[in-house]
């Protein structure tokens, strides 16, 4: 059992610097670039990253607990699949709008408020709220994004056969990914604080392209089901 916990943690560390930065780095970059450009102390600017990652790891732990309690990865993953695909699609759409906002055509997206879609209004509330605390629920939701690396850890969680061992396995994995994603977030935040004008707007275009990629990924996974 202890070997399994250590393995889960090291999987997170190894995965964080390779897999996670590559696959979820665009997401981290998008909300870092979308942050207000008002000069703030570095630690204050890191708070969104800490909250986002705390939310993400909370979700991993919860899923790991459910996997451990059920003892079956396939059954639980099957039930989660639909939700995960929706999250992937919404994430892509949200990143596109974030990019539009950075580029400076956010006002033209006001039409979305006329659409009476609860999911979009909820997403807008989370993204548009001025409170830094919004990054925690954002992390909770985005922790549901489908990820092959986390699936492997969830298989291990299911194999523990228990709620708390399963939860602990997934929690340790999440903690292992923390150094890489916090570091990447710090770099992105430093870059966004020093970019102004056209370079900042170019960042918005990059965020939109990355959003299209996430959207395409979510639709492609859905189509394969």
Partner 1 sequence: MKRSGRKLGTLCMLLSGIVILAGIISIGVLDVSSAENRTTCDIQRDSCLIQTGEGMTIEFDIHPKPVTAMSELTFIVNLSRGASPVTDASTSLDLSMPGMFMGKNRPVLKQVYDGRYEGRGIITRCPSGNKTWQAEVTVEHAGKTAVASFVFEVK
Can you give the binding site for partner 1, defined by CB under 8 A? 7, 11, 14-15, 17-19, 21-23, 42, 73-74, 77-78, 81, 88, 145-149, 151-153, 155, 180, 183-184, 186-187, 190-191, 194, 217, 220-221
CB of 78 to partner 1, least distance (A): 7
Report the alpha-carbon distance of residue 49 to residue 87 in Å, rounded.
19
CB of 183 to partner 1, least distance (A): 6
CB of 115 to partner 1, least distance (A): 27
- For partner 1, the closer of residues 148 and 197 by Cβ is 148
- For partner 1, the closer of residues 116 and 224 by Cβ is 224
Report the alpha-carbon distance of residue 60 to residue 177 in Å, rounded.
11
Half-sphere exposure of 51 (CA within 13 A, CB side): 16
Residue 144 in contact with residue 87, Cβ under 8 Å?
yes
- For partner 1, the closer of residues 110 and 225 by Cβ is 225
- For partner 1, the closer of residues 126 and 182 by Cβ is 182
């Amino acid at each position: 059992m202890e070997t399994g916990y250590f393995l889960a943690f090291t999987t997170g560390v190894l995965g964080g610097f390779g897999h996670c930065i590559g696959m979820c780095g665009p997401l981290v970059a998008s909300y870092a670039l979308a942050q207000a450009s008002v000069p703030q102390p570095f630690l204050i600017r890191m708070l969104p990253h800490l909250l986002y990652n705390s939310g993400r790891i909370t979700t991993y732990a919860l899923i790991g607990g459910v996997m451990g309690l059920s003892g079956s990865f396939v059954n639980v993953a099957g039930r989660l699949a639909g939700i995960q695909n929706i999250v992937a699609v919404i994430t892509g759409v949200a990143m596109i709008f974030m990019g539009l906002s950075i580029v400076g055509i956010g006002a033209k997206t006001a039409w979305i408020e006329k659409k009476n879609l609860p999911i979009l209004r909820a997403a807008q509330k989370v993204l548009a709220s001025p409170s830094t605390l919004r990054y925690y629920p954002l992390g909770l939701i985005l922790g549901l994004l489908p990820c092959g690396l986390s699936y492997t850890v969830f298989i291990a969680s299911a194999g523990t056969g228990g709620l708390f061992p399963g939860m602990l396995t997934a929690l340790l994995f999440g903690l292992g990914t923390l150094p890489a994603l916090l570091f990447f977030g710090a770099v992105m935040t430093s870059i966004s604080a020093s970019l102004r004008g056209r370079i900042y707007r170019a960042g918005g275009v990059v965020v939109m392209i990355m959003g299209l990629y996430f959207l395409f990924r979510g639709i492609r996974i859905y189509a394969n089901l």
